[in-house]
């Protein structure tokens, strides 16, 4: 077995996986805050990435463009929670309507992006340049290193936010017991809006990283990213941020390895491998690797 090739694929897989982990983090943030899987997360990221592209296209630096899009996405996410999601009702009693609403959002955002920015592919800037350096025969692109560094920083900041601030404490309180959190005076609605905004901003970053990896942006790409992120969050457990990161990296490595070593899968069925992973995890360990088991009360 060619070891250098193996390590090359491992590095590539981690680079891909960091992006999956990033979007999976957005899914997990919303799931923890509201108990809901946001099917529109990928298309929200698509919209944000187009906004970043617009800033970049008008002459901003790529980094500033992504930052600006994250700020706008935060506002957009909070607005979506308030105007679209909350009026439908509580997810525990209205699961089906809320799923349908987020799927409506998926379709509407995708088509709206196509309407505003067209369906043809756009060149998206490489956020970390195109260079690479070699370590022991394995080529590490700046892109891969940059994406992993961004993920590490993101996880660090989220950890500080959730564990060390009053706001983070409020978010965790809402997650663990919505009713009691209200009784102790937490502004429940505000926290939900903040959670959605945060998820939208994290998703915006994931979308920009993904488009930058592909060096192109069109409105078909985020659906695939969403399925990879689903696989990551399912594997790690939908209520666990650590799980999302580990799950994302594992999904990245597994799909790259499967595509590389199993010629039957190849490039075409990488997404199929992620789908099989989702099925197997849900059948064998529905709560994921790091998730808490849901106890059903009657």
Partner 1 sequence: MRRDARWWIGRVVAGVLLGGLLLWLPQSYPAFRVNQFSLVITYAIAALGLNLLTGFNGQISVGHGAFFGVGAYTVVILVADHGWPHFAALAMAMLLTFVLGLVVGLPALRIHGLYLALVTLALATVFPQIVVRFRDLTGGTQGKRIPRAEEFVAPGWTGLANDQWRYYVLLAFAVVAFVAVRNLIHSRAGRAIIAIRDNETAAVTLGVPHRAYKVLVFGVSAMLAGMAGGLAKFYDPFVSSGQYTINLSIILLVAVVVGGTARILGPAIGAFLVVFIPIWLPEQYPQLSGVFFGASLIVLMMLAPGGILGLGTKLRLWASGQWRSRRPGPTSLEPGAVASES
Closest approach of Cβ 163 to partner 1, in Å? 27
Instruction: Establish if 148 lies at the interface with partner 1 (CB under 8 A).
Output: no
Burial of 91 (0-12, 13-18, 19+ CB in 10 A): middle
Output the CA–CA distances (angstroms, integers) from residue 162 to 157, 175, 180, in the order listed: 9, 11, 19
Instruction: Establish if 23 lies at the interface with partner 1 (CB under 8 A).
Output: no
Closest approach of Cβ 68 to partner 1, in Å? 25
Instruction: Establish if 189 lies at the interface with partner 1 (CB under 8 A).
Output: no
Task: Tell me the three state secondary structure of residue 40.
Answer: coil
Of 155, 186, 224, 242, the residue at the interface with partner 1 (CB under 8 A) is 224
Q: What burial letters (b/e) apply to 151-185, b meaning 16+ CB within 10 Å?
A: beebbeebeeebeeeeeeebbebbbeebeebeeee
Residues in region 265-284 near partner 1 by CB under 8 A? 266, 268-269, 271-272, 274-275, 278-279, 282-283
Can you name the residues that pair with 122 across neighbouring β-strands?
217
Binding mask 92-111 for partner 1 (x = CB under 8 A): ---xxxxxxx-xxxxxxxxx
Nearer to partner 1, 105 or 250 (CB): 105
State the virtual CA torsion across 274, 276, 280, 281 in degrees, nearest 10: 20
Of the listed pieces 88-96, 162-170, 175-183, 239-247, which binds partner 1 according to CB under 8 A?
A: 88-96
| β-strand pairing of 132-135 with 216-217 | unpaired
**Interface with partner 1: number of residues (CB under 8 A):** 45
The span from the CA of 80 to the CA of 198, in Å, is 12
Of 114, 121, 126, 168, the residue at the interface with partner 1 (CB under 8 A) is 114
Binding mask 45-84 for partner 1 (x = CB under 8 A): ---------------------------------------x
Instruction: Establish if 171 lies at the interface with partner 1 (CB under 8 A).
Output: no
**Phi and psi for 268 in degrees, rounded to 5?**
-70, -35
The span from the CA of 246 to the CA of 233, in Å, is 9
Nearer to partner 1, 98 or 245 (CB): 98
Instruction: Establish if 295 lies at the interface with partner 1 (CB under 8 A).
Output: no
**Cβ atoms < 10 Å from Cβ of 41:** 31
**Cβ atoms < 10 Å from Cβ of 21:** 33
Instruction: Establish if 289 lies at the interface with partner 1 (CB under 8 A).
Output: no
Of 135, 183, 295, 298, the residue at the interface with partner 1 (CB under 8 A) is 298
Of 39, 50, 56, 210, the residue at the interface with partner 1 (CB under 8 A) is 39
Contact between 261 and 253 under an 8 Å Cβ cutoff? The reply is: no
Closest approach of Cβ 61 to partner 1, in Å? 31
Binding site for partner 1 (CB under 8 A): 36-37, 39, 84, 87-88, 95-101, 103-112, 114-115, 223-224, 226-227, 230-231, 234, 266, 268-269, 271-272, 274-275, 278-279, 282-283, 286, 298
């Amino acid at each position: 077995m060619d070891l250098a090739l193996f390590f090359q694929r491992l590095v590539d897989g981690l680079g891909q996986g960091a992006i999956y982990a990033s979007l999976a983090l957005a899914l997990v943030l919303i799931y923890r805050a509201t108990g809901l899987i946001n099917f529109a997360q990928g298309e929200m990221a698509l919209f944000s990435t187009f906004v970043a592209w617009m800033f970049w296209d008008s002459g901003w630096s790529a980094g500033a463009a992504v930052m600006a899009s994250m700020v706008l996405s935060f506002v957009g996410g909070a607005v979506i929670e308030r105007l679209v999601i909350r009026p439908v009702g509580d997810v525990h009693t209205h699961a089906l309507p809320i799923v349908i609403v987020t799927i409506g959002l998926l379709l509407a955002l995708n088509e709206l992006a196509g309407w505003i920015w067209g369906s043809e592919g756009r060149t998206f800037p490489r956020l970390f340049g195109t260079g690479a350096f070699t370590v022991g025969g394995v080529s590490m692109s700046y892109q891969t290193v940059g994406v992993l560094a961004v993920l590490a920083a993101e996880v660090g900041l989220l950890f500080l936010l959730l564990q060390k601030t009053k706001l983070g404490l409020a978010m965790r309180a809402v997650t663990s017991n919505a009713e009691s959190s209200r009784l102790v005076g937490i502004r429940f609605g505000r926290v939900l809006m903040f959670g959605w905004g945060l998820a939208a901003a994290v998703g915006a970053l994931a979308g920009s990283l993904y488009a930058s990896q592909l060096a192109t942006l069109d409105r078909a790409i985020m659906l695939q990213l969403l399925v990879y992120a689903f696989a990551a969050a399912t594997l790690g457990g939908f209520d666990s941020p650590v799980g999302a990161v580990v799950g994302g990296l594992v999904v990245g490595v597994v799909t790259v390895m499967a595509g590389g070593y199993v010629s039957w899968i190849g490039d075409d069925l990488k997404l199929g491998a992620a789908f099989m992973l989702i099925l197997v995890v849900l059948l064998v360990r529905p709560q994921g690797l790091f998730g808490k088991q849901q106890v059903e009360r009657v």
